[in-house]
Structure 1
């Protein structure tokens, strides 16, 4: 083997940060050392791996081919290192990105079960909307995603974890909360507080509502479920979120779930991962534990 793991590690970080200086900082080496390692790798492979566009280092076609292979190799090296030290079969680091509904209601139980079953597996975690989880996965920021929206990207594999349902809700003091059934025309007249565009919740809501209503009055958009709930509780707005996020507030009689017969907003919460990430013991462990929690 002509090249070193250090050279591949520099390549991986430059691809992630699109900057030699930022890659060097993340690896705690000098910029000169990172530049030399990258130059040596390109010389050994007899191919350019990056092209400079302004201040950004963009992957060439060869770099794009190499990146998933280096990512898999470095993950394997990390797993070997941690596994030997701990004598655990499932080890290493797995970085997970999740959208808000699963992050709030499903991930805590999943991580607790994983900690008990696989103590040598280190889990990094971030919460973003579905669109950003997908883009982060494709850009190698995440190894695994948990989303509540659609994903039909050709480079992504998907496995359903569980079912979920969106509902329309209002403050218990709202006039609509006194109705046995809310009509589509009443929804059209209402003011709405909704998730931001790019969120899986917003995607499903828009698909369902626009089958019947061309335009609704979206008063504000937020990326925070808690803010939306607080706004609706305090005002005369309607909202649409997962029932999982509203159940406790309904039981305290502070929010009411509105009966809109025309709207059926059932959806899947699913795991997603890159198709080029073919074998991953840590990912398989997460999927298996997740299935047992639901069954």
Structure 2
């Protein structure tokens, strides 16, 4: 019997997730089906690969030796998917993933439009949630991947940059700054600011970059904080103050002449968006194709 790459993937997933039930969830299979495939692999090699106890699952010596080979097989399958995506003409299936607030509300809806026009038989189920919820959903609720605003270091997860973003100072169009292409950091500090709440990815990037230029949070004139980018934009439009937010979020307002982005001299609020997925997972082709498109878009920027 020839070695079954699918069985190697199942074995690798069981070993990484630590149980047959968790592996079944990741693989979108039933638990008995996962058990049967691992048993078939054990029969092929004539040895036990896993010791099953009531408390936990442990690799045998043979299982430890097989694990890196199984990992290589999974990586080869991923690389093959990436290689072949550029040749896809017809794509069907369901995309199930999650995105953090800024990405889910402002970035992906625009990008998904062109993707779905190319592949009209693909359906999308996108959940908008915070990073902690995304990690939980990918790990335990069967989502294919998540897109978040900062890298995460969670055991069992792979994180890769997929898109670029830049935060910009934003003013109402009747503000004196709106007639200029560039202002100084000292001028910005003197202005009232309306910002995203502390702990948000946008606020974190802003504070870190300002600190690099010797500006602490206490030096800022923060007059209001909001839990959503939409509220921040409305506050800026109403003249409550200026803000520093993602360029992705203000494209509509710029087109309507409601807001104006202005560069701060010598300051760059650049960041990346990251895709997170389980190390043991093989993405469905629709998911792999979407991530490929996001990477390509990032390279064009």
Same fold (TM over 0.5): yes
Q: 1:225, CA displacement in angstroms?
A: 2.1
CA distance in 2, matches of 1:281, 1:101: 25
Residues 7-46 of structure 1: matches in 2 within 5 Å? none
Residues 1-295 of structure 1: matches in 2 within 5 Å? 65-74=19-28, 93-103=94-104, 104-110=106-112, 113-114=115-116, 116-117=118-119, 119=121, 121-140=122-141, 142-178=143-179, 181-211=182-212, 212-215=214-217, 216-278=220-282, 280-291=284-295
Change (3 A) 1:183 1:291: closer
SS of residue matched to 2:158: strand
For the 8 Å contact 2:97–2:125, the answer to whether it is kept is yes
Q: 1:239, CA displacement in angstroms?
A: 0.9
CA distance in 1, matches of 2:188, 2:148: 27
Change (3 A) 1:256 1:276: same
Q: 1:94, CA displacement in angstroms?
A: 4.0
Consecutive unaligned residues of structure 1, counting only runs of 5 or more, are 1-62, 78-88
Q: 1:237, CA displacement in angstroms?
A: 0.7
Change (3 A) 1:287 1:248: closer
1:27 alignment counterpart: none
More moved, 252-261 vs 103-112: 103-112
Change (3 A) 1:102 1:75: farther
More moved, 226-235 vs 190-199: 190-199
CA distance in 2, matches of 1:290, 1:186: 36
For the 8 Å contact 2:28–2:142, the answer to whether it is kept is no
TM-score, normalized by length of structure 2? Answer: 0.61
Larger relative contact order (C-alpha < 8 A, sep ≥ 6)?
Answer: 2
CA distance in 2, matches of 1:113, 1:72: 25
CA distance in 2, matches of 1:262, 1:129: 31
For the 8 Å contact 2:178–2:262, the answer to whether it is kept is yes
CA distance in 1, matches of 2:226, 2:239: 15
CA distance in 2, matches of 1:281, 1:172: 44
CA distance in 2, matches of 1:239, 1:122: 36
For the 8 Å contact 2:26–2:139, the answer to whether it is kept is no
Q: 1:243, CA displacement in angstroms?
A: 1.4
Q: Deviations over 1:56-113 (max 9, x none)?
A: xxxxxxx964453121243589xxxxxxxxxxx9766542111234322334433652
More moved, 155-164 vs 136-145: 136-145
Change (3 A) 1:289 1:169: closer
Aligned length: 222
For the 8 Å contact 1:144–1:273, the answer to whether it is kept is yes
SS of residue matched to 2:126: strand
For the 8 Å contact 1:191–1:238, the answer to whether it is kept is yes
TM-score, normalized by length of structure 1? Answer: 0.62
For the 8 Å contact 1:132–1:198, the answer to whether it is kept is no
